[in-house]
Structure 1
Amino acid sequence: MGICNGRVVIVTGAGGGLGREYALAFARDGASLLVNDIRREAAEAVCHEIVQNGGRALANSDDITRTDTAQHIVDVAQEAFGTVHVLVNNAGICRDRMFTSMTGDDWDEVMRVHLRGHFCLSQQLARTWRDAAKAGQPVDARIINTTSGAGLQGSVGQANYGAAKAGIAALTLIQAAELHRYGVCANALAPAARTSMTEGVFADMMRKPEDGTFDYFDPANVAPLVVWLGSAQSAHVNGQVFEVAGGMIALAEGWRTGPQIDRGARWVPDEVGSAVAQLLTQRRLAQPVYGA
């Protein structure tokens, strides 16, 4: 008996990396899994591993960026396991280039997979949960989104990815505010782990240690937080963004109104500079952009 016993979970991009570890960890804690990945064989391999260990899982390779196929994912999960309780939006891609070299396709594809991919499935399930709540049925649901340090602090060479991930962080706050009345909690995490998306840039830094010491960037390190957020135990946590790496869990502090000067009248352009200079001396410095 685990903390997710009886819960039904959809994980996207679950054929490898972080998504695979999430699916395996949820299954170990009693959940039934719909394992979604565009690589059908990879999704089936994860399901086979879950079933071999006594769990329940179903592979799916539908497109998460279309509303019709997103609805099909939900329908398949419900037909197989019953009510869906948790959605983990994990699938993503990178198309890294310096901003001046980035193509329109580089931009659009990253936005499609990350932002639209988070939108379509979330909306289909949110509507299901809203209708159930309005019908008087108990709802204890979770949306777990995936942002990134690139979205929270910025990252050189990742204008498209960082902008998409920043959008996901904002989407999480809005989902949390709008859906809580229906019994839905929405949270996000910014994981640092070794995956296929990090191989090109961070392969050396994230390499598995050969001396048997703690593998800080093992994607399995991120899974316990995700499983807990998907459990009934997390019902009091909503609208939060977590940074997680190795054995560290941190709560990200978002944008907020900082120092201010109000003159009570319209500013004269020539006087703005001195006011801004005063505000800059009072500010809390932001974390530096990655790679700057």
Structure 2
Amino acid sequence: MTLTGKVAIVTGSGRGLGLAYAQELARQGASVVVNDVDQAAADAAVASIVEAGGRAAAVVAPAGPTETARRLVDTAFDQFGRLDIVVTNAGVLRDTVLWKMSDDDFDTVIDVHLRGTFTLVREAAIRLREQGEGGRIIAIGSPTGQRGNFGQTNYAAAKAGIVGMVRTWAMELKKAGITVNAVIPVAATAMTATVPYFAAAVEAEEKGEAMPAFFRHDLGFGTADDVAGLIAFLASDAASEVTGQAIGVGGDRLQLWSHPQPVATAYREGGWSYDALVESFAAEMGELQTVGETFPPLPEELQRPQG
């Protein structure tokens, strides 16, 4: 097993994607600290790992506060004697358009996703550097953080911020042998289960059947287990040279997202005045960048009646 003797923390791992990550890390030999706000979900996750022959312990607490981060790291050392891998997966949604989004809607999502990633990675970095044997940090991003999505100001800000932190931490922690990467998953979740476009894929998963090739190949949309392999890979020694990257995975598709970089550059002696921009902006900048994601029409055989 590739992760024998390693110890991992996975936040938000009582169910869904986080549970799949925790189970795969355990399957590859790691001991896992499971985290969730739901005691029953956390206990069930631990039981599933132990029953499969793995080792796990639970911390029931919300992601975000420094206290939770310290409890998670302390539990790894108290229960298993060390720490090697951190996966920051915990998250919540409070979707609504900008003009209806409350302070609480914004703060809640930022606290769990962005602050939760920051506080745990900060605490883990301190202990990993003290331990002196390197480590693996894997932060979970989203296509929304890469391209934006209608109604998700808070979530887009958090997920884009996570990727920005990942790039910074990759530089700061390189000397300590700690790799830091972001994973951009595309998979069936409780959120996508409510979207009519994905109905045929969700129905297939619920029946234990293979998702149609259109979803798995054309959209790169699959199950939580399709993402878990990348998590285990990035946690392993095989990925020791991979750091500072945003890597997408879903269904049959693997992607390396580019870092933002200029796509058009123009120079004008004396600078760019208002008049100069009015005259030349369109010609100099060319085709502007798109926002959001667009999906191709569903094949007729995968369409479901509405209403």
TM-score (structure 2 length as normaliser):
0.87
Which residue pairs with 2:186 in the alignment? 192
Q: 1:160 to 1:272 in 2, by over 3 A?
A: same
Counterpart of 1:275 in structure 2 is 280
Q: Deviations over 1:44-80 (max 9, x none)?
A: 1111111111110101112321112211210111111
State the AA in 1 paired with 2:234: L
Q: Residues 237-292 of structure 1: CA distance to partner in whole angstroms, max 9, x if unpaired? A: 000001111121100112112321222423332112233212322x5x64541369
Q: Distance in 2 between matches of 1:261 and 1:115?
A: 35
**What is residue 263 of structure 2 aligned with on the other side?**
258
From 141, 151, 156, the equivalent of 1:157 is 151
How far apart, in 1, do the equivalents of 2:283 and 2:290 lie? Answer: 20
Pair 1:62-2:61 in alignment: yes
Report the counterpart of residue 227 of structure 1 in structure 2: 232
Distance 2:147 2:293 in 1: 7
Q: Distance in 2 between matches of 1:108 and 1:201?
A: 25
| TM-superposed deviation, 1:211 | 8.5
Flag the 1:211–1:174 CA change in 2: closer, same or farther, 3 A. closer
What amino acid is aligned across from residue 85 of structure 2 in structure 1?
A: V
Q: Deviations over 1:131-185 (max 9, x none)?
A: 34xxxx3x23011011111110110111111111111111111111111111111
Structure 2 residue aligned with 1:174 = 168
Give the 3-state SS of the residue equivalent to 1:204 in structure 2.
helix
Q: Distance in 2 between matches of 1:227 and 1:175?
A: 20
Counterparts in 2 of 1:211 and 1:221: CA distance versus 1, 3 Å = closer
Q: 2:139 aligns with which of 142, 145, 152?
A: 145
Show the counterpart of 2:293.
Answer: 290
C-alpha deviation, 1:206, in angstroms: 4.2
1:42 aligns to what? 41
Cα gap change, 1:291/1:248 in structure 2, threshold over 3 Å: closer, same or farther? Answer: closer
Match of 2:173, SS?
helix
RMSD: 1.9
Letter in 2 for 1:14: S
| Partner secondary structure for residue 268 of structure 2 | coil
Quick one: structure 1 residues 201 and 93, their matched pair in 2 at CA, closer, same or farther if it must change by over 3 Å?
Answer: farther
Equivalent position of 1:213 in the other structure: 210
In the alignment of these two chains, the number of paired residues is 284
**Counterparts of residues 127-142 of structure 1 (less than 5 Å):** 127-132=126-131, 137=132, 139-142=133-136
Question: For 1:20-99, what aligned pairs fall within 5 Å after superposition?
Answer: 20-99=19-98
1:142, 1:230 within 8 Å by CA — same for their partners in 2? yes
Q: Aligned equivalents of 1:42 and 1:66: distance in 2?
A: 20
* Corresponding residue for residue 199 of structure 2: 204
SS of residue in 2 equivalent to 1:256: coil
Q: Is the 8 A contact 1:193 1:206 kept in 2?
A: no
* 8 Å Cα contact 1:156/1:290 also seen in 2: no
Q: Determine whether 1:6 maps to 2:1.
A: no
Aligned-partner SS, 2:96: coil
Q: Give the 3-state SS of the residue equivalent to 2:109 in structure 1.
A: helix
- CA distance in 1: counterparts of 2:102 and 2:117, whole angstroms: 22
- CA deviation digits over 1:9-62, x for unaligned, max 9? 000000000011111111111000000111111111111111111110101112
8 Å Cα contact 1:140-1:232 kept in structure 2: no
Distance 1:248 1:171 in 2: 25
Query: Which amino acid in structure 1 is aligned with residue 251 of structure 2?
Result: G
CA distance in 2, matches of 1:211, 1:93: 27
User: Residue in 1 aligned with 2:302?
Assistant: none
8 Å CA contact 2:34–2:58 kept in 1: the answer is: yes
1:84 aligns to what SS in structure 2? Answer: coil
Structure 1 unmatched runs, 5+ = none
Q: Deviations over 1:108-144 (max 9, x none)?
A: 1110111001011100011112334xxxx3x230110
8 Å Cα contact 2:201/2:211 also seen in 1: no
Q: Which amino acid aligns with 1:157?
A: G
1:242 maps to 247
